[in-house]
A = this chain, B = another copy of it.
Amino acid sequence: MIVWHQGALRPVEAVRIDPNDRGLLLADGLFETMRARDGRILRLERHWARLSEGARLLDIPLPLDEPGLAAVARELLLANGFARGEAVLRLTLTRGPGPRGLAPPERPTPTLLLAAFPPAEPAPPARAVLVKSVRRNELSPASRIKSLAYLDPILALREAIAAGGDEALLCNTAGRLACASAANLFLVVEGRIWTPSVGEGALPGVTRAVLLDRARTAGLLAVEADVPRHLLARAEEIFTTNAVRGIRAVASVDGRVLAGPCPGPVTRRLQELLEAE
């Protein structure tokens, strides 16, 4: 495996992350997970916009620009045998090494890693569990950026798996629906498409944004809103979205299987809209 690290392609075995890197010590950084096809990042401009917004919020200087990332991704994909076909990229940006303590160094030297992976295996419809042990904190700006602080979703997914499921649904601190473990959440209720708004704790997902745009352009009713959790019981269809898997239908919630075909007709229609170029 060849990765891109601090300006150069290197075998992963040759990459040394400093034990004083604040990404490791304090989750002081960001990431993006992106799909690539034929050497190009899909929806690069949206990923770039989110990464830039996160870097601005955290005040981490970005060591390259958008065309630079496109060029690096192309080289990296080629070096890993993904010049043709599908792949997944993970970009990790940290504030870099720092002295002990929370206060960031005055002149940070950010760490930038880019790694390429085979495309995700197709996943069966999700057996979702509405988790009880952890709430999404919409009262932190970190809920609106793709930060490295991902322990809550890990704890949520562990609870879901322990309960016999394979995906977690999280409420926010107000008890309304927020998101899935590493994906946005959508419900279809009386034919209308609902997704929790960013203020409710939903990450501003790239696939979520594309889907909302295309659904609306196609004349479908799609709203970002407060989504009370009782709507789960009323939903005809439920699905999650992220950049790696696109749309994933939810087959059951807390063991209750949704009526009708899975994926349902609205989910299928949205899959078609999403896959159109």
Where the two chains meet, the residues of A that have a C-beta atom closer than 8 Å to any C-beta of B are 3, 5, 12, 15-21, 23-28, 31, 58-59, 88, 90, 92, 94, 100-104, 113, 115, 117, 133-135, 137, 139-142, 147-155, 157-158, 161, 173, 181-182
Contacts and interface: CB of A to CB of B under 8 A. Distances in A.
A19 B58 CA distance: 21
Number of copies of this chain that the complex holds = 2
B133 A155 contact: no
A19 B23 contact: no
Contact of A19 (B12, B101, B142): B12
14 contacts: A17-B19, A23-B24, A25-B92, A26-B150, A28-B151, A28-B154, A58-B155, A59-B158, A101-B182, A102-B182, A137-B173, A142-B155, A148-B149, A148-B151
Nearest to A5: B19
A58 B94 CA distance: 23
Contact of A155 (B16, B88, B141): B141
Contacts of A59: 158
A27 B90 contact: no
A20 B12 contact: yes
A151 B161 CA distance: 26
A142 B137 CA distance: 12
A17 B21 contact: yes
Nearest to A33: B100
A182 to B, nearest CB: 5
Contacts of A139: 134-135, 137, 173
